[in-house]
Chains A and B, each alone.
Chain A
Amino acid sequence: MLRLERRAEASQTMSYASPLIAILLMLIGGLLLFTLLGKNPVEGFKVFFINPISDLYGWSELFLKATPLMLCAIGLAVGFRANVWNIGAEGQLIVGAVAASAVALYFYESEGGAHVLILMVIAGCIGGMLWAAIPAFLKTRFNTNEILVSLMLVYVAQLLVSWLVHGPMMDPDGFNFPQSRLFEDSALLPILIEGTRLNIAFTFAVGALLVGYVFMFRSFAGFQMQVAGYAKDAARYAGFSAKRMIWIGLMSGGAMAGLAGMSEVAGPMGQITDHVSNNYGFAAIIVAFVARLNPVGIFFASLLMALLYLGGEQAQQYLNLPSSISNVFQGMLLMFLLGSDVFINYRIRWKEATA
């Protein structure tokens, strides 16, 4: 008879091995899924995981897709470390994109300079922070649950952007399509590698990871957040302000998600539509957990998650699979991660059934 037995101490090894096991199980699950759908699993694996990154352009797309994930995930991880559960990065990303777009459209057909992009970056961050400020305020003032409030605000943000692109922000020459004008060049992020779409936002993301690393492991504020995450009573005993941590956690998530939204509209999209986000805000939650809330881990987990996005697109094209295949892989990854995380605190023992 198999039995779960509590470990004397949480296993350090297992806490790092668990994401790898989850990735492996996800791959196995994926191959099984391809087989059940009547596809050749080897072919499926190749289309999903190899083809998207078989050339330089593929890699540049991978980094491009990983950029908003890295930004959102590092912002969220800061809060998650203090058990501040911001589930609404998706909405914060949308509002950040809206704010950045508003700046871009305001300066439309003006003599644009570098200030346009700088203002867009600031607007994007502030937009995301404002959206995250709602759950922060309600939590610190009325002790509401930030998970619910931030999540519900995602749907408000989606409706908001939908209304804007059907109304005030709609392209007047756009045949009533729900989208804005295409931004001018002054409102677009500079490209990093000629001939690709990879833009300077990627360096923002890497910069954010570095800053996040210093904040988490070197700063006293980061230490306070970690104490609050591990032992709430100890944080209170030390006199760390719980309200301050809620604000820091939600503001970092909001600012980074807003910046991610800005980098989408000023990057690959070049305009705002009601499909601003590709669920990056939600996928970033999985990224943060697979990465164990560690900036180095977030870098690699974002690349993996980006590969799932690209693979999903390829699978649509070459395997005739529905677009939701990406979500299935994301879901499997999270489920297997949570499953194998059990073994951080427990181990399996074979125990003879006692008569």
Chain B
Amino acid sequence: MTSATDDELAFRLELEGITKIYPSVIANEDVSLKVREGEIHAVLGENGAGKSTLMKMIYGVAKPDAGQMKWQGEVVHVENPAHARSLGIGMVFQHFSLFETLNVVENVALALPGNPDLKELAEQITEVSNRYGLPVDPQRLVHALSVGERQRVEIIRCLLQNPKLLIMDEPTSVLTPQAVRKLFDTLRQLAAEGCSILYISHKLDEIQELCHVATVLRDGKVTGDCIPSQETPKSMASLMIGKELPVPEHNAPVELGEVRLQLNGLSKKSDDPFGSNLQDIELEVRSGEILGIAGVSGNGQQELLYALSGEKPVAEADAVVICGKPSGRDLPDRRRRNGMGFVPEERLGRGAVPRMSLTENALLTAHNAGMLKHGMIQFDKIAQFARKCIEAYNVKCGGEEHAANSLSGGNLQKFIMGREILLAPKLLVVAQPTWGVDVGAAAFIRQALIDLRNEGTAILVISEELEELFEISDRIAVIANGRLSPAKKLADTNIDEIGVWMSGMWEQPAPAEVQAHA
């Protein structure tokens, strides 16, 4: 790696004492940060550490309450994103802002000032995409693009304005490992041409591989600056979370028991016109194993989860067999009675009712466990259950009478996970178990899943985080375009092969697989 932090290079961006206070929380406190020309500068921190708020202030979406920002040596007050763009600051958000029904050129044109000629623009797009290795067809409709391609459109949209500083917010969370490598090549090329990059992430390995300098945030404050290539993931993690990174207990195989979940040729058309139709999905999960399903988001995970949970039942009862009972047509309540537990991806509004207390939220799925008497709620019993869940799963909250939306994402996830596990399911389906959860809570949740498996529960985990799946799964399969690959034992595969499979190619043996067996 070449270092761009030579002293003779000027500072492009200097933040001094930036503070931002929201009504209930201090998002940033006295944050200072300096980015040189051509430097890839990581902003590292857990969810909720204040990374995104800081970037929003640089990009003019939010305004600081105190502190100042210098752009190429001069004090500026960024009024709005248009102002930021005119200065030469571009930003690629974690959640893309593209219109699905428009094509690539039209989407790019919308972000540009004035009324650009679409033909010329298409040529420009092709030129930029060739130069930086970002292949995209300007005439394609956005809804037909993969997530990786959409990100390229966002990046191209920024590059067309010749930015001097590019802000990337968690760019790799939606990409396959191969796409991540391509993205890194592009970013390195940009940096070599003098463009500064602010790279926001909580993934330590990526930062080590890519970034010249890192600023670590914790609870809105800078806890340190470092040069990632001279650090270990451990030392950076301790800067980030204030303690050592917990390591989950090793995943020793357990004797497999009966089949608890069986999908027989499950097919379902998506309700979403831009969703993925499930095609002929076959799958089996046995007692005492964790089956992980990997995949780039939007490849049918949502549809599969709806069909598994019963939130959107399917026409054929036999397509979904839960603990031996054909359940395809059953609603979630019936499936729960058959022994299934389910943790959805969205915690607020689906897994929990935001305005209701934790007690009431426990009742949401625990009502079959003797919490009712003649149709009336037994509030003392349910409060007891909620307290047990809070205690056993280390949920940080004011108490069981507090509303679900007063909890942080990680704590609410622990509560929901705890609620489902305490109901002693025979089969547990979990979506994105640690999405948006801080490192400590994530390790706790993974350990809880492994413990549950050791006790003989069949577990299906659908996650977009490959590392996580490799950490906890016994077998792993990939969903792509609504089709499910065969499941492989963890020992028989590797990240590269799964990465190739994530683009839908598992029929022909991929080169990576050949290597793995060599």
Contacts and interface: CB of A to CB of B under 8 A. Distances in A.
Interface of A: 7-10, 214, 218-221, 223, 226-227, 230-231, 233-234, 236-241
B416 to A, nearest CB: 10
B376 A218 contact: yes
Nearest to B334: A239
Interface stretch (B223-231, B243-251, B348-356): B348-356
B22 A238 contact: no
B354 A230 contact: yes
Interface of B: 22-24, 309-311, 331-336, 342, 344, 346, 349-356, 360, 363-365, 367, 372, 375-377, 405-406
Most buried by B among A227, A230, A239: A239
Contact of A223 (B350, B355, B363): B363
B311 to A, nearest CB: 5
A239 B354 CA distance: 17
Nearest to A234: B353
A136 to B, nearest CB: 19
B429 to A, nearest CB: 12
Given A8-B24, A234-B349, 13 more contacts: A8-B23, A9-B406, A10-B355, A219-B376, A220-B363, A220-B367, A230-B355, A231-B353, A234-B351, A236-B311, A237-B344, A238-B364, A241-B331
Contact of B333 (A7, A214, A230, A240): A240
A8 B375 contact: no
A7 B405 CA distance: 14
Given A8-B22, A237-B350, A239-B310, A227 B376 contact: no
A237 B309 contact: yes
* SS class, residues of chain A in contact with chain B: helix
A227 B350 contact: no
B377 A219 contact: yes
A229 B356 CA distance: 11
B349 A238 contact: no
B375 A220 contact: yes
Nearest to A240: B333
Nearest to B368: A239
Which 5 A-B pairs rank lowest in CB-CB distance, beginning with the nearest?
A239-B333, A239-B332, A8-B23, A8-B24, A233-B350
Contacts of B365: 238
Contacts of B346: 233
A238 B377 contact: no
Given A7-B23, A221-B375, A238-B333, A231 B349 contact: yes
Contacts of A223: 360, 363, 377
A55 to B, nearest CB: 43
Contacts of B353: 227, 230-231, 234
A7 B24 CA distance: 9
Contact of B332 (A8, A214, A231, A238): A238
B24 A239 contact: no
Nearest to B336: A239
Contacts of A9: 24, 405-406
A240 B333 CA distance: 7
Contacts, number: 69
Contacts of B355: 10, 230
Nearest to B377: A220
14 contacts: A8-B23, A218-B377, A219-B375, A223-B377, A227-B356, A230-B356, A231-B349, A233-B350, A236-B332, A238-B365, A239-B310, A239-B331, A239-B333, A240-B333
A198 B356 CA distance: 40
Contacts of B377: 218-220, 223
B310 A220 contact: no
A237 B350 CA distance: 6
Contact of A227 (B23, B310, B351, B364): B364
A231 B354 contact: yes
Nearest to A233: B350
B139 to A, nearest CB: 36
A220 to B, nearest CB: 5
Contacts of A240: 333
A33 to B, nearest CB: 37
Contact of A220 (B344, B354, B372): B372
A349 to B, nearest CB: 10
A236 B313 CA distance: 11
B23 A237 contact: no
A240 B22 CA distance: 37
Contacts of A219: 375-377
A234 B342 CA distance: 12
Nearest to A6: B23
Nearest to B366: A238
User: For A8, A10, A236, A238, which residue has the most chain B Cβ atoms within 10 angstroms?
Assistant: A238
B386 to A, nearest CB: 14
A227 B377 CA distance: 14
Contacts of B349: 231, 233-234
A172 B75 CA distance: 92
Contacts of A227: 353, 356, 364
Contacts of B332: 236-239
A22 to B, nearest CB: 22
A224 B67 CA distance: 49
B350 A234 contact: yes
Contacts of A226: 356
A241 B349 CA distance: 17
Nearest to B79: A354
B89 to A, nearest CB: 20
A158 to B, nearest CB: 37
Contacts of B350: 231, 233-234, 236-237
Contacts of A238: 332-333, 364-365
Contacts of A230: 353-356
A237 B334 CA distance: 12
A322 to B, nearest CB: 43
Nearest to A221: B375
B375 to A, nearest CB: 5
Contacts of B336: 239
Nearest to B352: A234
A240 B335 CA distance: 12
Contacts of B364: 227, 234, 237-238
Contacts of A221: 375
Contacts of B352: 234
A218 B406 CA distance: 24
Nearest to B348: A231
A226 B24 CA distance: 27
A202 to B, nearest CB: 27
Contacts of B344: 237
A241 B331 CA distance: 8
A227 B376 CA distance: 16
A221 B374 CA distance: 11
Nearest to B374: A219
A220 B342 CA distance: 21
Contacts of B405: 9
Nearest to B363: A223
Contacts of A8: 22-24
A231 B356 CA distance: 10
B309 to A, nearest CB: 7
A226 B363 CA distance: 12
A269 B336 CA distance: 53
Contacts of A214: 376
A108 B500 CA distance: 84
A233 B351 CA distance: 8
Contacts of A234: 349-353, 364
Nearest to B372: A220
A235 B52 CA distance: 32
A230 B353 CA distance: 7
